[in-house]
Amino acid sequence: MCRHAAWLGPSRAVSWLVGEPEHGLMRQSYAPRMQRYGTVNADGFGIGWYDGSRGEPVRYRRTVPIWADANLPGLASVARSTCLMAAVRSATVGMPIEETATAPFADGPWLLSHNGRVRREAVRALAGDPESLCDSAWLASAVFARLRAGAPLGDALTVVVRHAAVEDPPARLNLLVTGGTEIAAVAWGDTLFTHLDEGVLVASEPLDDRPGWQAVPDRTLLLASPDGVLITPID
């Protein structure tokens, strides 16, 4: 299982998710506290953020462990945005290790991360043109196809998750998606937490020991906007 995290709120550097918090994604890559599947997340990492100077998000994805990229701390300390996403990867058995299999996946204005596993055939009917054979890339392409058709973030996630869960009941489908102004997330088979202060953090597990982290119940959809957080069951 991978670990992922996103931020929506006042502008912060990517290091706000990665190296700054005591249990940020840097630490979670080798010592996650709540990971149910896998022990380390050393099969690559990715960061994505929105910069006002371009319409699409900027990404940086690597296949090396996050702790092995000596250039990352500098980059993560200056890559700032009101909306951030980052992930560290533990590849599912049989999945390729390549940048195109590494979250965040992107299409136009959207970024997406998947924490889990799904049979690719379970989403084949919805997927467009995945950039990798990785199951997560297929899921991403299915969600992006709905978004391109005009679906709101939450609807796109719900449709794809319901479909995948019917076709592949043991699938684990924790997803994070954003278009830069809202974050939608699904808890489906693994842990998900949220923390609200001046903005909203959504993460596979708490990034630190501050009070206020709330567990997001399994099989729910979380929608975070500047107005707050809404959690609804997916049936």
* 134 classed as catalytic: no
Q: How far is the CB of 231 from ligand GLN (least distance, A)?
A: 21
Kindly write out the interface string for residues 48-77 of this chain, putting x where it contacts ligand GLN by CB under 6 A and - elsewhere.
------------------------------
Q: By CB under 6 A, tell whether 95 contacts ligand GLN.
A: yes
Q: How far is the CB of 196 from ligand GLN (least distance, A)?
A: 25
> Among residues 145, 146, 135, 80, which one has the least CA distance to residue 113?
135
Which residue type is seen at 77? S
Binding to ligand GLN (CB under 6 A): which residues in 1-30? 1-2
Q: How far is the CB of 117 from ligand GLN (least distance, A)?
A: 5
Q: Return the range that interacts with ligand GLN (CB under 6 A); candidates 48-56, 109-117, 125-133, 153-161.
A: 109-117
Q: By CB under 6 A, tell whether 134 contacts ligand GLN.
A: yes
| Cβ neighbours of 36 (radius 10 Å) | 11
Q: How far is the CB of 60 from ligand GLN (least distance, A)?
A: 17
DSSP 216-235: PPTTEEEEEETTEEEEEE--
Q: By CB under 6 A, tell whether 81 contacts ligand GLN.
A: no
Q: What is the gyration radius of the CA atoms in the chain, in angstroms? A: 16
Q: Please, which residues have CB within 8 angstroms of residue 5's CB and are 6 or more apart in sequence?
A: 17, 24, 25, 85, 86, 87, 176, 201, 202, 203, 204, 207
| Mode of pairing for the β-strands spanning 172-178 and 80-88 | unpaired
Residue numbers at the binding site for ligand GLN (CB under 6 A): 1-2, 38, 89-92, 95, 101, 114-117, 134-136
- Cite the active site residues: 2
